[in-house]
Amino acid sequence: MRHTRDVHTLAGPYAMDAISPPDRARFDRHLARCEDCAREIASLREATARLAAAAAVSPPPALKARVMAAAAATRQRPPEPEPEPALRTWPLRTWPLRTRPVRTRPVRTRPVRTRQGRPTPSRRLAMAAGAVAAAAAVAAAVVFGVSNGGMQDQLSQAQASSQQVAAVLTARDATMMTGVVRGGGTVTIVMSHSMRELVFTAAALHALPASRGYELWLIGPAGDRAVIMLPPARHGMTGPVVASGLRPGDHLALTAEPASGAAHPAGRPTTPMMLDVVL
């Protein structure tokens, strides 16, 4: 990791703007991936602000009138739709880790634990699409109906699912994948092909404003399925949450959405996906 350490020594020059444009760009990319570094830069900037304060000199009084007049004639920039800068820079790209495709074979239908109520038209469509596929897909669609329940149902289900988590973690074919999140943080996934479930946890995800949250999705040939709105991080840790009903060809995606959740990943395919596991 010599390269990373090299970049990191630019923290001092960066905080004082004592840096060439290429070095700045390099460090900006580094900052987008390194939450600790961003915190350090923020604290160093507080120190340099004090250096500025020590140089304070009142400007000529006439300047104020000029500034106020110029402001009155200047249109302000609206807040950006995606205010968290790190997220905007996430490229849409395939996660480098891949696992073998799931073999198609009959899946035991598991008892549906929650969810009554009528399926929404889109869900009915998704279920119909599943029905025309292989028997395995039909079974999976049933599970999907469960996992795609109301956000609150999902949350309580996820929190109450330590047995489910344990089952995946101890599955005979459990596979662990880890990765660095573009925009900050790391994720760890433990997946069981035979159970068609995975456990998702994340650490040090880029903090979002209270109005927004991270939503986990399964995206595949059958369409987008909201898995869960991730609960807020505690001590930097998010999850674990369980995604059920994985199907061949599914991708796992994480996006920033309004805190109330979204029915579909906003703005796909331009939505930044920091995670894209081919199952």
Partner 1 sequence: MTAIDRPDPDRARPSTAEPGAAADLTTCLRLVARGDADAFDTVYDHVAATVFGIVRRVVRDPAQSEEVTQDVLLEVWRNAAKFDPGRGSATAWVMMLAHRRAVDRVRSVQKETERERRTAVADIPFDEVAEAVESSLERERVRRCLGSLTELQRESVTLAYYGGYTYSQVASLLGVPSGTIKTRMRDALIRLRDCLGVAS
Contact residues for partner 1, defined by CB under 8 A: 9-13, 15-20, 38-40, 42-60, 63-64, 66-68, 70-72, 74-80, 83, 207, 209
Letter string b/e over residues 9-32, b meaning 16 or more CB atoms within 10 A of that residue's CB: ebbeebbeeebeeeeeebbeebbb
The least CB distance from residue 72 to partner 1, in Å, is: 7
Helices (H), the chain: 2-8, 11-15, 21-33, 35-53, 62-72, 85-88, 121-132, 135-147, 151-159, 162-169
The least CB distance from residue 48 to partner 1, in Å, is: 6
The least CB distance from residue 127 to partner 1, in Å, is: 41
Q: What is the Cα–Cα distance from 51 to 55, expressed in whole angstroms? A: 7
User: Toward partner 1, which CB reaches closer, 27 or 217?
Assistant: 27
Amino acid 263 reads A
User: Toward partner 1, which CB reaches closer, 39 or 113?
Assistant: 39
Query: Beta strands 237-244 and 223-229: pairing type?
Result: unpaired
The least CB distance from residue 26 to partner 1, in Å, is: 13
User: Toward partner 1, which CB reaches closer, 209 or 258?
Assistant: 209
User: Toward partner 1, which CB reaches closer, 89 or 175?
Assistant: 89
The least CB distance from residue 38 to partner 1, in Å, is: 7
* Neighbouring-strand partners of residue 253: 217
Among 87, 278, 86, which Cα is nearest to 177's?
Answer: 278
User: Toward partner 1, which CB reaches closer, 63 or 128?
Assistant: 63
